Amino acid sequence: MRFCGNPPKAAGSPLSPSKNDSVATWIRASKNDSYALQERKQFLIKAYHIVKASQIDTLQTRKLTTMAYQNLKLGDTTLFKNRTNEALVLATRINDSFAMGDAHWNYASYYTNRAVYDSAYQNFDTANKYFDKSGYVYESANMQYGMAFIKGRFKDYSGSEVLTFMAIKKFKQIEDFKSLYSCYDHLGALQNDIQEFDKALYYYNRSLEYLREFDNNQPEYEASLNNIGNTYLKKEEYSRALQKFNTLLKNDRLKLDNKDSYARALDNRAYCKLLMKDTLHVAKQLNEALHIRDSLDNKSGVIISKIHLASYYTYAQDSVKAITVAKEANGLADEIRNSRDYLESLSILANLDAQNSAVYLKRHIEYSDSLQIIERKIQNKFTRIAFETDEYIQETERLEGQKVWISIISIVVMLVIALLFLIWRQKVRHSLLLFENEQQQVNEQIYLISLKQQEKLENEKIKERNRISEELHDGVLGKLFGTRMNLGFLAIEGDKKTLKQHQLYIDELQTIEKEIRDVSHELSDNIDSSQINFLRIIHDVLENKSKLGGFEYEVDFNESIDWHKINQIIKANLYRIIQEALQNIIKHASAKNVSLLFNIDEEKLVVEIEDNGVGFDTKQKQKGIGMKNMKSRLKKLNGVFAVVSKLKGGTHLKIQIPI
Amino acid sequence: MISEKHFVLIIDDHPLITEAYITALNYYSKHNETVEFSIQTANDCDSGRELIKKVLKSKEHKYIVFLDIKLPPSRDGEILSGEDLGLLIRELLPNPRIIVSTTFNDNFRVHSILKNINPEGFLIKNDITPLELLETIRTVVNDPPYYSKTVIKLLRDQVVNEFILDHYDRKILYELSVGTRMKDLPKLLPLSIAAIEKRKRNLKLMFNVRKLDDRQLMVSAKEKGFI
């Protein structure tokens, strides 16, 4: 048994369909061999209609290929071809490389089944390209194994070996032990073919190592033992070969479970014994094996059995019977195009049938020549396909390179654009910020100017008042006094009443003087109002807010603070901060007492605002803009800001501003 | 009876007032024949100074000076008011009898004048009537001093109050009351700003006013007769 079968085709695509997926259900039903063949075909048609009715996407395309393969398995080649073609067209359209590979795999399986190996090879190759490109390791390895298998069949041993090793690398990567077993088994077969029996044994043993790694390995184990036995047989180590076959046949269940395998072992053991010149039961066993194989319609098995029988009859010197079975084998081999057995049967006949020996030899030579030509042709074809593949790879690489360049360039361009955009945005933000800042400065300036203006106005007012006061005091009052005095010394002539009246008016004048003086004093009575301006404002705002918030307040100014020295901007901002803080207290704290403290500490103005309200969690992020405003104002003044607060423990706000 | 001759200097910038004094003096000498007045007038600090220097020649004479406090200052800026002139008179004239007559009635100025000039007569212009003026002349001529009502009241208030305020305290209070800024005070007093602040705090404590309230301090100081 040289090649033990086609590479296994995966039952489903990697996209596992969901359980309630009707398509998947129908496909599953079609795989169930408890249904009649017709029914199963019907299921597939139903699945097909559902797929056709649905939207074309990756999932549906992949289902189509699965379905097609199922059709093939059920022997419906026409439907298989149609479905696969359809899937291929769809996959190409939506550029699904897995589905494309899968479709080609379908074809490869189909051609392998039909023994059209060059087409099969071509399809394996194409499928491999698609799988390899899109990283489907298992599938790609399988394709390579398929190709290796075909190459081995056409005696391109080294090519087959190379491909097998490539597949092995991939299978090892995904730890697929069953496939690894198959690969090593195949390698063993290759070595067997080129008579390197030791190497073959080595590979077979390797394959057995992998065999132990997976379950349900009985059939593979039997095949392996058989292969190893055959190798020893060829190596003419008959006792070892016999040992292997005996091991196989020791299994009593073999005859029941795997008749084919049993027949093979039985046949091989008998042949081995024959070669050891031990003819006991050999004829019987060879015939039993032949019988079983015949009943199983295993034609290649039958051929081998018959060739072995021919050998037996030759040994038994029953040349008539030997020729008969050899002819039968030859006919059968011709029928199923088994060239190896055909050639072997021909050489046996040439030996046995002395009369027709020349004819057989001639036929043998002709056939093996033609076989060689075909093999060479096909090998050439493989080479061409490989070359095309190389070209394809080169082209792909070139395109890939182009793609890489295009992507790099586009990424760079995109980055540049993004960068430009970022710069632009930053610029806009910056200018916005600048504008805001400018506006703020202008506002502040306006405020300062108005403050100064007010102060000036106030000063002028005071000056004017003083002037009036002075004028009244020094000028008018003096003149009035002089007038009154002089009037008093005037000897007024008249009666007593007139004199009394005169005195009365003089007294009245004195009263007027007094009034004017009082007015003058009041006018000049201006304590430096600007000096306490700021404190006054703070007082006012506290007064106002305390009424709003219903709290008592207490304020303490350190006397040594020279408010004149403190920048108006600081005062203006401080005022706003205090206002904001008081606003916060009103809004959130529900405090009963608020105290405000102004102090000076080494060139730093220290303001403390304390309340006995509900407090808040300082760790929590503040949503309000109140705090933010205070912070930003302080930042402008290079000030520091500290809040100590506990829930239900009041809040203590400490502000430090360098002056 | 030998008539007594008094050299009278009237230094006042209001001609009307000067005239009133002259009238009063004349009226007085008319009714008291033993008293004779030789009257000379000046109407500002410059002419006042000149007048003092001029009359200085005769040392034995008795001098009576009517001195206004608010006068146009001298051109060289040495003499700024009647107060300075008063000091000059005290320095130059022998035993002058100074009658300060002023419209100022604030306690600080009054106190300051009392302290500096110690006048024989002290009239607050608004207080006096012609009769009082005559009485002033009489008292000053015969048995000084004569203080008008406001001055006496001030002296009484100060005796009653137990505060001890020195000149600087008074000056601070006064300056603040006339609207001088704290920052300008060190220029007017030989004290640092910190010392002034300290004095102010003490004053507030004394007058029992809240720390913040300068205005209240002024009101209180005025009530108690310090400004």
DSSP states along A609-628: EEE-S----TTSPP-SHHHH
> How close does chain B come to A527, measured CA to CA in Å?
4
- Enumerate the H helices of A525-605 as residue ranges: 533-549, 568-584
Q: CA of B60 to nearest chain A CA: how many angstroms apart?
A: 31
Location of structure tokens 């006013």: B209
Helix (H, G, I), strand (E, B) or coil at B51: helix
Which stretch of A71-75, A432-436, B45-49, B92-96 has the lowest confidence by average pLDDT? A71-75
Question: Around Cβ A618, how many Cβ atoms within 10 Å?
Answer: 13
> How far apart are the C-alpha atoms of A264 and A262, rounded to whole Å?
5
A528 interfacial to chain B (CB closer than 8 Å)? yes
- For residue A602, what pLDDT band results from cuts at 50, 70 and 90? confident
**Distance between CA atoms of B2 and A385, rounded to whole angstroms?**
165
8 A C-beta contact, residue A414 and residue A188: no
Please state the rounded mean pLDDT for residues A274-284.
87
Residues of B in contact with A467 (CB under 8 A): none
Crossing angle of the two packed helices A97-113 and A58-73, in degrees rounded to 10: 10
User: What is chain A's mean pLDDT, rounded?
Assistant: 83
Q: Who wins on pLDDT, B14 or B56?
A: B14
A481 touching B (Cβ < 8 Å):
yes
Contact A488 B181 (CB under 8 A): no
The nearest alpha carbon in chain A to B176 belongs to: A527
Q: Which helix (H) or strand (E) holds B71?
A: none
- Residue A603 in contact with partner chain B when CB distance is under 8 A: no
Looking at beta carbons, which residues of chain A come within 8 Å of B177?
525, 527
Residues B119-123, mean pLDDT to the nearest whole number: 93
ipTM above 0.90, yes or no: no
CB pairs under 8 A between A and B: 111
pLDDT above 70 for A618? yes
Determine contact: A474 vs chain B, CB below 8 A: yes
The region of weakest confidence among A246-255, A332-341, B21-30, B50-59 is B50-59
Question: How far apart, in Å, do the first and last CA atoms of chain B sit?
Answer: 47
Cα three-residue angle A212-A217-A222, rounded to 5 degrees: 105
Q: What percent of chain A has pLDDT over 70?
A: 94
Res. B207: pLDDT tops 80: no
Residue from the list B21, B103, B193 with its beta carbon closest to the beta carbon of A517: B103
pLDDT at B1 over 60: no
Mean pLDDT check: name the lowest of A61-65, A157-161, A467-471, A515-519.
A61-65
Contacts of A556 in chain B (CB under 8 A): 211
Q: Which of B126, B179, B181 sits opposite A510 (nearest CB)?
A: B126
Helix pair angle (A339-352, A357-470), 10° resolution: 160
Mean pLDDT, rounded, for B130-155: 89
- Whether residue A550 lies within 8 A of chain B, CB to CB, comes out as no
Distance from CA of B177 to the nearest CA of A (A): 5
**Do the Cβ atoms of A556 and B211 come within 8 Å?**
yes
CA distance A524 to chain B (A): 7
Best probe of the A interface among B13, B22, B125, by most A CBs < 10 A, is: B125
Torsion of CA A244, A245, A250, A256, to 10 degrees: 130
- In angstroms, what separates the C-alpha of A571 from chain B's closest C-alpha? 17
Q: Do A477 and B180 touch (CB under 8 A)?
A: no
Confidence of residue A56 (pLDDT cuts 50, 70, 90): low
Which chain A positions have a beta carbon within 8 Å of B131's beta carbon?
488
pLDDT mean over A409-433: 93
- B122 pLDDT band, cuts 50/70/90, is very high
Closest-approach residue (CA) in chain A for B70: A474
Which 28-67 residues of chain B touch chain A by CB within 8 A? none
Contacts of B181 in chain A (CB under 8 A): 528, 530-531, 564
Output the pLDDT for position A569.
77
Q: Report the run of H or E that residue A258 belongs to, with start and end.
A: none
Average pLDDT over residues A422-451: 83
Query: How far is residue A227's CA from residue A293's CA, in Å, rounded to a whole number?
Result: 18
d(CA A508, CA B114): 29
Structure tokens at A191: 């070595």
B-chain residues within 8 Å CB-CB of A597? none
Rounded (10°) angle between helices B193-207 and B214-223: 60
CA distance A623 to A599: 30
Residues with Cβ within 8 Å of residue A489, at least 6 apart in sequence: B20, B23, B24, B27, B130
| pLDDT attached to residue A406 | 93
Nearest to B210 by CA among A524, A530, A546, A532: A532
Mean pLDDT score, A403-424: 94
Of A197-201, A498-502, B155-159, the least confident: B155-159
Distance CA A481, CA A475 (A): 10
Most confidently modeled range among A24-28, A309-313, A341-345, A409-413? A409-413
Please, how many CA atoms are within 13 Å of residue B134, restricted to the half-sphere of its CB?
Answer: 16
Pick the range with the lowest mean pLDDT from A266-280, A286-300, B186-200: B186-200
Cross-chain residue pair B126–A556, CB shorter than 8 Å: no
Relative orientation angle of helices A568-584 and A625-636, to the nearest 10 degrees: 160
What pLDDT is recorded for position A413?
95
Residues 115-174 of chain B whose Cβ lies under 8 A from any Cβ of chain A: 125-126, 129-131, 133
Confidence of residue A424 (pLDDT cuts 50, 70, 90): very high
Closest approach of B82 to chain A, Cα-based (Å): 13
Best probe of the B interface among A486, A523, A536, by most B CBs < 10 A, is A486
Q: Is the pLDDT of residue A622 over 70?
A: no
Among B17, B178, B182, select the one facing A481 at the smallest CB separation: B17
Whether the pLDDT of residue B124 is over 80: the answer is yes
Percent of chain A with pLDDT over 90: 11
| CA B134 to the chain's CA centroid | 19
Say if the Cβ atoms of B179 and A514 lie within 8 Å: no
B16–A482 C-beta distance less than 8 A: yes
Residue A198 has pLDDT above 50, yes or no: yes
Residues of B in contact with A521 (CB under 8 A): 106
d(CA B220, CA B218): 5
Q: Which residue of B has its CA nearest to A476?
A: B14
Question: Which A residues in the span 555-584 are in contact with B, Cβ-Cβ below 8 Å?
Answer: 555-557, 559-560, 562, 564-565
pLDDT category at A10 given cuts 50, 70, 90 is very low
pLDDT of residue A203: 93
Q: What angle do CA A151, A154, A157 make, to 5 degrees?
A: 60
Cβ contact A143:A176 at 8 Å: no
Q: Which residues in chain B are closer than 8 Å to A481, comparing Cβ atoms? A: 14, 16-17, 20, 103, 125-126
Tokens for A291, please give them: 């019988």
CB-CB contact of B16 with B41 (8 Å): no
Half-sphere exposure of B50 (CA within 13 A, CB side): 10
Both structure tokens of A184 = 């090593």
CB atoms A531 and B214 under 8 Å: yes
Q: What is the structure's pLDDT at A1? A: 31
Work out the pLDDT band at A164, boundaries 50, 70, 90: very high
Q: Please give the radius of gyration of chain A, using alpha carbons only, rounded to the nearest integer.
A: 56
B70 with A474: Cβ contact below 8 A: yes
Are A541 and A575 in contact by the 8 Å Cβ rule? The answer is: yes
- Cα→Cα distances A166→A175, A194, A211, B203, Å: 14, 20, 19, 107
Q: Which residue of A has its CA nearest to B22?
A: A486
The span from the first CA to the last CA of chain A, in angstroms, equals: 102
Nearest 5°: CA angle at A469, between A476 and B102? 60
A323 CB burial (10 A radius; 0-12, 13-18, 19+): buried
With a cut of 50, say whether residue A20 has pLDDT above it. no
Q: Which residues of A touch B211 (CB under 8 A)?
A: 556-557, 559
Q: Which residue of chain B comes nearest to A515, CA vs CA?
A: B126
Q: What is the pLDDT of residues A364-403, one digit of tens each?
A: 899 889 888 888 888 888 888 877 777 777 887 888 889 8
Summarize pLDDT for A526-577 with one digit per residue, the tens.
655 544 567 777 888 888 888 888 888 888 887 677 777 777 778 878 888 8
Question: So what's the pLDDT on residue A534?
Answer: 76
Range with lowest mean pLDDT among A165-174, A327-336, B182-191: B182-191
Evaluate if residue B212 carries a pLDDT over 80: no
- Phi and psi for B170 in degrees, rounded to 5? -60, -40
pLDDT higher at B146 or A42:
B146
Please check whether residue B200 touches A, CB under 8 A. Answer: yes
Closest residue, chain A, to B69 (C-alpha): A474
Cα–Cα dist B130/B19, whole Å: 12
The pLDDT of residue A457 is above 90: no
Q: Are residues A528 and B214, on separate chains, in Cβ contact within 8 Å? A: yes
Q: Which of A585, A575, A576 is nearest to A613 (CA)?
A: A585
Phi first, then psi, for residue A195 (nearest 5°) are 65, 15
**CB B122, CB B131: distance < 8 Å:** no
Query: Regarding predicted confidence, which is higher, B211 or A402?
Result: A402
d(CA A634, CA A631): 5
Cα A334 to chain center, whole Å?
57
Enumerate the residues of chain B whose CB falls inside 8 A of the CB of residue A530. 181
Cα–Cα distance measured from residue B153 to residue B147, given in angstroms and rounded to the nearest whole number? 10
Please give the Cα distance from A220 to A258 (Å, whole number). 12
Residues B94-97: contacts with CB under 8 Å, at least 24 apart: B94/B59, B94/B60, B94/B63, B95/B62, B95/B63, B96/B63, B96/B64, B96/B65, B97/B62, B97/B63, B97/B64, B97/B65, B97/B121, B97/B140, B97/B141, B97/B144
Mean pLDDT of A481-507: 84
pLDDT bin (cut points 50, 70, 90) of residue A201 is very high
pLDDT higher than 50, residue B65: yes
Q: Decide if B16 and A483 are in contact by the 8 Å CB cutoff.
A: yes
Contact B177 A527 (CB under 8 A): yes
- SS3 assignment, position A593: strand
Mutation target vs A (from B13, B17, B131, B173; most A CBs, 10 A cutoff) = B17
- The A residues from 631 to 650 touching B (CB cutoff 8 Å) are none
Q: Is B197 on the interface with A (CB under 8 A)?
A: yes
A490 and A505 Cβ atoms separated by less than 8 Å: no
Which chain B residues touch A483 with a CB distance below 8 Å? 16
Rounded CA gap, A130 and A13, in Å? 14
Asked if A514 and B130 come within 8 Å (Cβ–Cβ), the reply is: no
Closest CA to B172 of B163, B180, B164, B162: B180
